[in-house]
């Protein structure tokens, strides 16, 4: 893969991740069913990717790593449920911007769990993200559906930050695609009992949206991300992934007429700018 192709791949991956909220809103079913269906199709897509990109030097996970991967699967599934709950309550734009707070949680949790020194610029990034989140909602009140949805989305971002740090501690030496496959299998096993009673009520068109979520927004997006990291620097990919909320908001505006207010745009600009600057400063 050339650098140009890697840049195209990472932009496509960010676009696909940004479309997760769109397909989640189109699927007229519960967040538990969305998480289970997404995991089912993701397992199919990631299994194919693992077969196509087999490595002769692949390392089998140890017992400790398998336990941590299963725990990661639980975090991943819960992250999906909270995110799609936010989409159902408050719309794609607010849910996507709330989830975009996860780098701020990552900074704080890294300092606590890994005892790494947090730079003043990173504390400033956390503060800017908090201000942006307050501006995202029309009124910050628990009686408002927008605020409730934002809180679900922020919880989703917190869980994703925990998942990222758990992966950092558990997947060292493992093939990233296979690690993602193991975690999605764990999600599928955990959510199958919750999703099974809902299967008769799922419309054929909803299966299409679940397939899009699992195959494209999970399997293909993750594979593109992994492939691009072989050519690009990690901080370059992080900067590009800061565009994920932008893609989600633009598609929600186009498809669902979720026109963002000036207050929401200002909050979104603060959040995306903080992520962008933090990624540029990362080493």
- The answer, yes or no, to whether residue 281 has pLDDT greater than 70, is no
- The answer, yes or no, to whether residue 253 has pLDDT greater than 70, is yes
| CA proximity to 209, closest of 13, 28, 84, 2 | 28
What is residue 8's three-state secondary structure?
Answer: helix
Confidence (pLDDT) at 32: 93
Query: Highest mean pLDDT range out of 53-67, 69-83, 121-135?
Result: 69-83
Q: How far apart are CA 79 and CA 167, in angstroms?
A: 14
Q: How far apart are CA 187 and CA 60, in angstroms?
A: 20
- Give burial (CB, 10 Å; 0-12/13-18/19+) of 214: buried
Q: Tell me which of 35-44, 132-141, 245-254 is least confident.
A: 132-141
Instruction: Reduce the secondary structure of 107-152 to three states and give it as a string.
Output: HHHHHHHCCCCCCHHHHHHHHHHHHHHHHHCCCCCCCCHHHHHHHH
Q: Tell me which of 60-69, 109-118, 234-243 is least confident.
A: 234-243
| CA proximity to 53, closest of 184, 229, 172, 209 | 229
Confidence (pLDDT) at 204: 93
What element of type H or E holds 1?
Answer: none
Q: How far apart are CA 200 and CA 163, in angstroms?
A: 32
- The answer, yes or no, to whether residue 110 has pLDDT greater than 60, is yes
Mean pLDDT estimate for the chain: 83
- The answer, yes or no, to whether residue 283 has pLDDT greater than 60, is no
């Amino acid at each position: 893969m050339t650098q140009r192709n890697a840049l195209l791949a990472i932009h496509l991956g960010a676009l696909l991740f940004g479309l997760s909220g769109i397909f989640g809103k189109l699927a007229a079913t519960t967040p538990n069913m969305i998480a289970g269906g997404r995991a089912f199709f993701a397992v199919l897509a990631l299994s194919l990717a693992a077969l196509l990109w087999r490595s002769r030097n692949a390392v089998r996970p140890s017992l400790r790593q398998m336990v941590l991967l299963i725990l990661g699967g639980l975090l991943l599934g819960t992250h999906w449920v909270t995110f799609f709950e936010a989409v159902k309550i408050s719309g794609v734009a607010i849910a996507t911007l709330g989830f975009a707070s996860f780098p701020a949680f990552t900074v704080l949790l890294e300092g606590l769990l890994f005892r790494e020194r947090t730079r003043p610029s990173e504390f400033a990034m956390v503060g800017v993200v908090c201000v942006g989140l307050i501006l995202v909602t029309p009124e910050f009140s628990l009686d408002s559906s927008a605020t409730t949805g934002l809180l679900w989305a922020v919880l989703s971002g917190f869980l994703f930050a925990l998942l990222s740090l758990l992966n950092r501690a558990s997947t060292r030496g493992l093939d990233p695609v296979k690690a993602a496959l193991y975690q999605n299998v764990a999600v599928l096993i955990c959510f199958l009992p919750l999703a099974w009673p809902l299967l008769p009520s799922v419309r054929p068109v909803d299966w299409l949206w679940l397939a899009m979520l699992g195959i494209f927004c999970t399997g293909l997006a993750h594979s593109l991300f992994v492939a691009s990291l072989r050519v690009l620097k990690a901080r370059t990919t992080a900067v590009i992934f800061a565009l994920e909320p932008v893609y989600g908001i633009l598609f929600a505006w186009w498809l669902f007429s979720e026109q963002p207010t000036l207050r929401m745009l200002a909050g979104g600009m603060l959040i995306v700018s903080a992520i962008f600057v933090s990624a540029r400063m990362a080493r």
